[in-house]
Amino acid sequence: MSVSIRDLTAIRARHPEAVAEAAARRIRRPLLGDSGRLMIVAADHPARGALRVGDRELAMADRADLLNRLCVALSRPGVDGVLATADILEDLLLLGVLDGKVVMGSMNRGGLAGASFEMDDRFTGHRARDLARLRFDAGKLLLRIDYDDPGSLATLEASARAIDEMAEAGLPVFVEPFICRRLGGRVVNDLSAEAVTRAIAIASGLGGTSAYTWLKLPVTADPDDMAAVLRTSTLPAVLLGGEVGGDQKAAYARWRSALRLPTVQGLVVGRSLLYPAEGSVEQAVDTAVSLL
């Protein structure tokens, strides 16, 4: 598929109701299919101002290119769905590529990359009622906790209320928790076994119920620690991809090992599949799917 920005913009300008109409007729599916595994492609980075891939600062800023890559990824066998913000999901709805896919809306994008208020991560994306109205299938929130930044407390409280609202709507919410700190003005996630364990424990207890809560977790700095780390909670989990750098094979090996653990249900991967360091989008996606 070749995406036409001109055509998408014309629909948005002349027929904004087309988004709701496309959402209403979208063919839905259960969150977990016959395989019992999830393979989700993530593309919610731009709304946080995070456009860099590798050494290209604005790689994700070309919307036509991003949409083309997403369409290719979604067309591959074994890809269950997509995680993105409203603008991207609505482009994909208008392109007609979300039938039979899990559609996951990104909820908090207020903690802009590099901002002084990055830890006060306001819910500026999808609300539970938006996801329900559009008949989307799940939501995702990012929970970064910096013990030295009071903005994290506001994010914790807002996250708990969002979890409550998603449960009231009967919608799964994927919580992505990190313990982090600032180094040279930049927020850095702590991927040590102790930090990831602590993040899981905090995230699992948020809200008035955990019935609809999933965890979206990184592989620890030492992959051998994952089995012990994941004993912290019974909540179902998916692994996040993040940037894998030049050694994509090593990243795949880490994912393959962690996917064998009992609470891990699948993968949510973004830039490393959409903008692979080696090979094509098709090859990167197919390799990731094969790990499941």
| Residues 188, 182 contacting (CB under 8 angstroms) | yes
* Count of CB atoms situated within 10 Å of the CB of 92: 22
| Residues 45, 271 contacting (CB under 8 angstroms) | yes
| 247 CA to centre of own chain | 22
| Residues 141, 107 contacting (CB under 8 angstroms) | yes
Tokens of 139: 């939501």
237-240/213-217 β-pairing = parallel
Q: How far apart are CA 200 and CA 197, in angstroms?
A: 5
Residue 166's SS3 state is: helix
Query: Domain spanning 5-291: which CATH class is it, in words?
Result: alpha beta
| pLDDT (mean) for 224-246 | 87
Residue 180's SS3 state is: strand
Which DSSP state fits 132? H
Residue 272 has pLDDT above 60, yes or no: yes
Residues 184-230 pLDDT 10s: 888 999 999 999 999 999 999 999 999 999 999 999 888 889 999 99
Residues 29-62 pLDDT 10s: 999 988 889 999 999 999 998 889 888 889 899 9
Q: Which amino acid is at 33?
A: G
Q: How far apart are CA 50 and CA 72, in angstroms?
A: 22
Per-domain boundaries in the chain = 5-291
Provide the pLDDT confidence category of residue 129 given band limits of 50, 70 and 90: very high
